[in-house]
Each structure stands twice: as C-alpha cells, then as structure tokens.
Structure 1
C-alpha cells in the first residue's frame, strides 16, 4: 500500500544562494599539502560533483566540511555560518544539518533496517514511535518498505546503500555528502542509486555534494563539476561544458575513458612533423555540434579533409561533439580559425601518412 511520504524541508537562511562556501582552504599533513587554497561554492538545490584521482584531496575536503578535520587556513561556511573556529559542542548541531552516505554503507549489523535508519533520531532523543514512523516514510521513499524488519546481512549492496541514503535523510539535512557512494556497486546498481539521488534532489530540493573518482557518475547526475588535483581545484563548470571542452590535463585524463579518443593504431603512428596530413582534435558543443559542420567545412576547404573518428553525445540535454580529422598542412590554419569561430577547442595532435 502506498502512503504519502511527508518531508520536513531543510531550514533556510537569509541567503538562499550557496549552502557551502570555501575560500582559500588549506590543510597540510607534514610536507604534503592535502588542500592547497581551495575556493568553491555549492548552490542550494544543486548537485555538485567533485572528482579527482586517489590522493587528490577529496577525502580531506569532505572531512573538513563535516568538521572531522580542521583546516590550517581559509574559511568554510555552511549555510552562512563560519565553522572553522567552532568547538566540538558547537559542531554537533552543524553535523545534524549534513547527511553522509559512504562507500561501504556503515550499517550496524545487529540492528534491523528500520533501526539503522532511525538511529540518528534515537541519538537526538526522538521518542520511539516518532522515529520509527519517520524511518517508515524514508524507507518508502527509497523503495525498501518491505525490508524494514530485515537485517543488513540479508540485503544486496544496492539495498544497503538505499538504507544508507534513508538514514542520511532522517534528520532532514540541508546538505547530503556522498563519499564514493557507488564505487563498490556494479554498473546496473550504480545507475539505480544515481537515479534515486537525482529523484531525491528533484523532489526535495536537497543539495548534494558528490565525491567521486568516476566521471560516469558525474555525467549521469551532477549539475556542475569541480576537478581537484594535488589539493587544488584545477577546473570547474557545468558538466556539459567541462566534458565538451576540458582545459586541464587532469580533466582530459579523467575523461579519456568516456570521450572519443584517437584510435590507437593511428595514435601510434603520429609524428611531431612530417610530409603527411596534420591530425586535429575538435571539441565542440551546443548547436554547432549538431549543425552542418562538415558540409560547411567541405565548402570552405575544397582541398578536403578526412574524418578519422568521433561523434556527438548529449550531456545535460546539450549536444557535445568530439571529432578527429586529417587534412593537408596548408589548410590547417584556415580550418582551425574557422571552427574556433564556432566556439570549438582545437588541438594539433601530429602528422600521419596521407592514407593512414
């Protein structure tokens, strides 16, 4: 039987813009700068993905946000309140405004599903009947009403993560922090968990900060992305824009698994210079990516070019294209100028034999 799921909205502040504001946040461990001047904002109601390799600073950042790490310098504001100087007692109300979901679920094996979900409310002193009613609402929200009396050992990985999400929402947080929440799950289960988080964000207007090393996760759910490397934010922007024209080498590397790449048998034959054709990569987004680009190029450059590889994808409803072409060296400067006027990002990759 379906029941209406009630939801207590998160409190709002006078400033309805950023839920999180970081300014020049720094944290060192010995000689290692885990965070090296991070400045970032997370807007109310958005999903922001923070992506980076292992050791880039993601875990330190999330621990600074929930008060488990003290930054050495800079400012962190949560809902307009500076938290870096707060003592442990003052941090407790703040932590109730932040829900956390984890890679390995962190469920208590000796407690039932509903008891796990209700645990934060028990700690807050809610009466048993009220906290179990709240747990029932949230289990319905995540599609696990029939598992309320089950124990975690009887659940699949995806079901355990749904319980973790329900528990994180128990106290009506203003912010949900997701720390590699899908990296232990198979691809199909990952898609279902991301769809659930997107649905919760849409229905409840909940702000979500995703920490991940998986670009596919960011692509499927986030509104914006920030790329962190060696403790610094090296690139940020709307997901479609960063995926379309990545600027930082770290971003390009992280995207290499899900964006078209020059076929290996051609890449291996590239020379820095030579008598053959020049090979270009063209990254382009928006209407120009689906317009008559190649017809226009054929008219403007009758000397010809060869399309080697590429295609058009859609991210956040925006067309995003990446193409690799080869053309005579004499036509290169003119073609680069032509497509750059369309907003494309062009890179000369090297030279190949005329018929490679």
Structure 2
C-alpha cells in the first residue's frame, strides 16, 4: 500500500461519526395493499458488517433503496451518520449519497469506459480534477488487485474482476457506508470466496461499515458480524452470526440454515414415528463455551445407560464452536427425561425428533 493511500485510510478512520452509522426506527413502506417494509427497526455500528438475509420478496430490495434514498418510507426514521434522510429534499440528499457506496449483483459498469474511468466516475460527477480522479482510481485498483487492468474495458474482464472494479468504484468517494446488494449471486463459489475475502479485508483496513443484502446463508457466515433475518417486511430474528447459527428461533431462519447446518440423514428421518420404537432420536445444538466442554463424556458419566451418536459434528463460526449432534437413546420415559434435563442444564437446545424402530 503506497503512502498516499495509507494517509487516505487514516483519514477515513478518523472521521467523526455516531456509534451507529445506520439506524432505522419503525420504517414502513407500502406498494398498494402490499407491505414491503412493515415496521423495520435495526442499527449498524461503525466498522461493523451486518448481513440482512431473506427470501425473494421479503423486503430486502425495498430496504436497500430506502437506505440510499431511492425510495422514501411512508413512515419511520432512517438515520445515516446521525441525519434522518427521510426528511431531506433531493438537493440535501446528494452530498449524503456520496457517503454511501453501492455494489451490485450485475456490476453496473459502463462498457464504453475503461476500468480506471469506471472507478473514477463518482469523482468526475463530483467535479474533481482529472489528476485527482486518476490518482484515486490507481490507489483503489491496487487495493482490489487490478492495477494491470486500468486501461482495459469491462468486456475483457471475468465476473470476479468486474465485481472488483465495482467495489473499487464504490470506494472512490471515501464512503462511510458500503451497501452490497446480492454482490456475489452471479459468481461461482470460488470467485465468491475471493470477493468476500476482499470485502472483509477492506472492512478491516479501512474500518468501513458494510451492510450486505443476500439470500445466501454462507455469505453471512463468511464475513458478517451480525445477521438480521427479514420476512414479509419484518425483522423476525437478529443477533451475532454464531448465536443465530447455533439456535435459530424463527422457522424462516431454520429453513435458510437448512442447507449448511447438519441434518438427520434422510433414511433415518423417514423411519421416525411420534411414538414407539427402540430409540428416541434427539437433536442437540450447543455453542460457545458449552460446546467446548466434553459434553458426551460428561453425559455418559452423569446418566447411566447407553446412547449413541447418530450423526452431526462441530463447526466454528466467528471463532465460536457450534455443534449440532443427533443422539439415539433407549426408549424409556425416565431415561429420556434425565438425558434431556442434563443436556439442557449444560446450555444445549434439545429437540426430540421422534422414535426409531430400526429396520425391523
């Protein structure tokens, strides 16, 4: 990183902003009879990465358009760096929009302009001198690893390279907030990982606040500090990523996590009934300090009687251990109660999935 860019990084870090760069209070937006946003309240702290996840039609696009001032809420407050943008006129919004960078799913690069001109475009719109624009573009292309592509045109770039250009352009005006709208949805898994690593690195180097919209839980898991789950225009669950992964309370969150959390193998799930059977099959979710303890050996010592590990394992999310285990225990009301009491007493979330009669 060159000296000039280091100075600009420090300049960004020294900007005096409220603890909450973004704060929404009871934001509502309707289109006809449809409530796109139905009382959304959330905040994003300075230097934080907040992921907002939901299915198609949940309200994600309307939310991000309200944040950048392209949509006006019907009611509620939207504060960006302490200013309620819902109360600002179009002329007052212009300088505030320059404090918000945007990266898009389909890149939105201008095909007739070179890579460096695409990156410098926000500064040209601001009326900055050409020398300053090109100097800043060079710094940012170095940051995203594309210095050698400065004179190239978008048509010659791969999808990942185009998104790196989009990220550089979003940073041109030194924003306080970066909005990412499904920025990796059009990319293959390997390229997605590289783009997410770049965003995390930028967040770390610049202390940049990032709000990312996605329908992919793996994106949230990779880089977000906190997650908010939106469904039918409402925030139905929010918290640190590791905590939500360990104990998803909303059905929509459980569904979104279904693809990356361990699930009971289908052939066993198909045999389960709600009564009878040789074994009760338990799902045991535990995280944090409780997941670091020898849970199963302690269970064997505390509750006499056999049990078996049917499926599952332990993972790490945000450096926190998160375990999902499936246990089979002999069918006995007293034994089942004692096992449940022990596991819950150790901070585990336990669910009786059903009873397995085996292959008889």
TM-score scaled by length of structure 2: 0.96
How far off its partner does 1:288 sit? 2.3
Q: Decide whether aligned partners of structure 1 residues 10 and 64 sit closer, same or farther in structure 2, where only a CA change above 3 A counts.
A: farther
Contact 2:105 2:182 in 1 (8 A): yes
- Work out the CA distance in 2 between the residues paired with 1:351 and 1:178: 45
- The partner residue of 2:142 within 131, 140, 143 is 140
- The partner residue of 2:303 within 301, 304, 307 is 301
Where structure 1 has 5 or more consecutive residues not aligned to the other structure, the ranges are: none
Deviates more, 1:24-33 or 1:114-123: 24-33
User: What are the residue-to-residue correspondences of 1:1-356 with 2, within 5 Å?
Assistant: 3-4=2-3, 5-6=5-6, 7=8, 8-9=11-12, 12-13=15-16, 15=18, 17-327=19-329, 328-330=331-333, 331-353=335-357
Contact 1:57 1:229 in 2 (8 A): yes
- Work out the CA distance in 1 between the residues paired with 2:125 and 2:13: 19
- Work out the CA distance in 2 between the residues paired with 1:34 and 1:352: 44
Matched residues, number: 354
Q: Decide whether aligned partners of structure 1 residues 34 and 329 sit closer, same or farther in structure 2, where only a CA change above 3 A counts.
A: farther
- Work out the CA distance in 2 between the residues paired with 1:318 and 1:53: 26
SS in 2 for 1:252: helix
How far off its partner does 1:329 sit? 3.5
How far off its partner does 1:332 sit? 1.8
Contact 2:280 2:328 in 1 (8 A): yes
How far off its partner does 1:31 sit? 1.4
Q: Decide whether aligned partners of structure 1 residues 14 and 202 sit closer, same or farther in structure 2, where only a CA change above 3 A counts.
A: closer
Q: Give the structure with the larger helix fraction.
A: 2
Where structure 2 has 5 or more consecutive residues not aligned to the other structure, the ranges are: none
Contact 1:10 1:173 in 2 (8 A): no
SS in 2 for 1:53: coil
How far off its partner does 1:3 sit? 3.5
How far off its partner does 1:303 sit? 1.8
- Work out the CA distance in 2 between the residues paired with 1:243 and 1:30: 35
SS in 2 for 1:111: coil
Q: Decide whether aligned partners of structure 1 residues 14 and 182 sit closer, same or farther in structure 2, where only a CA change above 3 A counts.
A: closer
Contact 2:221 2:241 in 1 (8 A): yes
SS in 1 for 2:113: coil
- Work out the CA distance in 2 between the residues paired with 1:292 and 1:10: 43
- Work out the CA distance in 1 between the residues paired with 2:307 and 2:13: 56
Q: Decide whether aligned partners of structure 1 residues 145 and 206 sit closer, same or farther in structure 2, where only a CA change above 3 A counts.
A: same
SS in 2 for 1:9: helix
- Work out the CA distance in 1 between the residues paired with 2:289 and 2:14: 40
- After superposition, the C-alpha distances for 1:190-214 in whole angstroms (9 at most, x for unaligned) are 0100010000000000000010000
